[in-house]
Amino acid sequence: MPASDTLPHSVADALHQRRSVRAFSDRPVDPEVLKRIFAAAQRAPSGGNLQPWQATVLTGAPWQQVKDAVGARLAMGRDGYQPEYDIYPKGLTEPWESRRFGIGEALYASLGIPRENKAGRLAQFVENYRGFGAPVMLFLHCSRIMGPPQWSDMGMWLQSVMLLLVENGLASCPQECWAMYGATVRETLGLGDDQILFAGLAIGHADEEAAVNQWTVPRVGVEEAIDWQGF
């Protein structure tokens, strides 16, 4: 755990400190800390108080089983895909396409993997399916009957968990990539077809030395997001 003086002292601090960590140490995570975090995250708001989020949290052998099962699908190439939903809209336009492209390029640049090194880029992408070495993996899912409003509720719960992890000196990476192998993940977790898998959340202690953890993803200026009226 980082020294207590580096822990966030406010919600704004936690927001600034949280980032997607893509290399974890093998230091285990105290389940009692996770229990407190999930209890606190139950305070996340949801339309109609539906609280649609459901999560399965894994470590040790059950986590390894998911990695093995998805690894077998990965080995099948495109034939192995079982997309649970469209991760991005088909035909993503500007400005969103550039933002998506930019994050990929910055990620590979941080690792010194040029565009020509397709095998190197693929190897880094496949790290997703090891949870970047995280000792704990959380899979976030909900009933398949839920729609966009309830998916936004899941997002609020997810951000609540990520900020609480920061407060406790823990790191995370949200991962939609698991939705590419939704059926295999659900089967391995023992979830029925009535559930839909949204994302994984890799949880652990950041490997502070790893190059991939040394950069901060920029954001567009607030003026691009907020239109003030009547002020």
Ligand X SMILES: Cc1cc2nc3c(=O)[nH]c(=O)nc-3n(C[C@H](O)[C@H](O)[C@H](O)COP(=O)(O)O)c2cc1C
Would you tell me which residues interact with ligand X (CB under 6 A)? 19-20, 22, 103, 128, 173-177, 199, 217
Choice between 6 and 30, CB closer to ligand X: 6
DSSP type of residue 82: B
Report the distance separating Cα 132 and Cα 2, nearest Å.
20
Could you tell me the smallest distance in angstroms from the CB atom of residue 84 to ligand X?
A: 12
Q: Are 14 and 167 in contact (CB under 8 A)?
A: yes
Q: Are 66 and 188 in contact (CB under 8 A)?
A: yes
Could you tell me the smallest distance in angstroms from the CB atom of residue 174 to ligand X?
A: 4
Rg (CA), the chain: 18
Choice between 112 and 230, CB closer to ligand X: 112
Could you tell me the smallest distance in angstroms from the CB atom of residue 220 to ligand X?
A: 12
Report the distance separating Cα 53 and Cα 229, nearest Å.
34
Report the distance separating Cα 137 and Cα 7, nearest Å.
23
Could you tell me the smallest distance in angstroms from the CB atom of residue 100 to ligand X?
A: 9
CA 21-98-216 angle, to 5 degrees, is: 25
Could you tell me the smallest distance in angstroms from the CB atom of residue 219 to ligand X?
A: 8
Choice between 19 and 67, CB closer to ligand X: 19
How far CA 24 is from CA of 91, 192, 204, in Å, comes to 34, 31, 6
Choice between 128 and 150, CB closer to ligand X: 128
Could you tell me the smallest distance in angstroms from the CB atom of residue 4 to ligand X?
A: 23
Q: At what angle do helices 60-74 and 182-189 cross, to 10 degrees?
A: 150
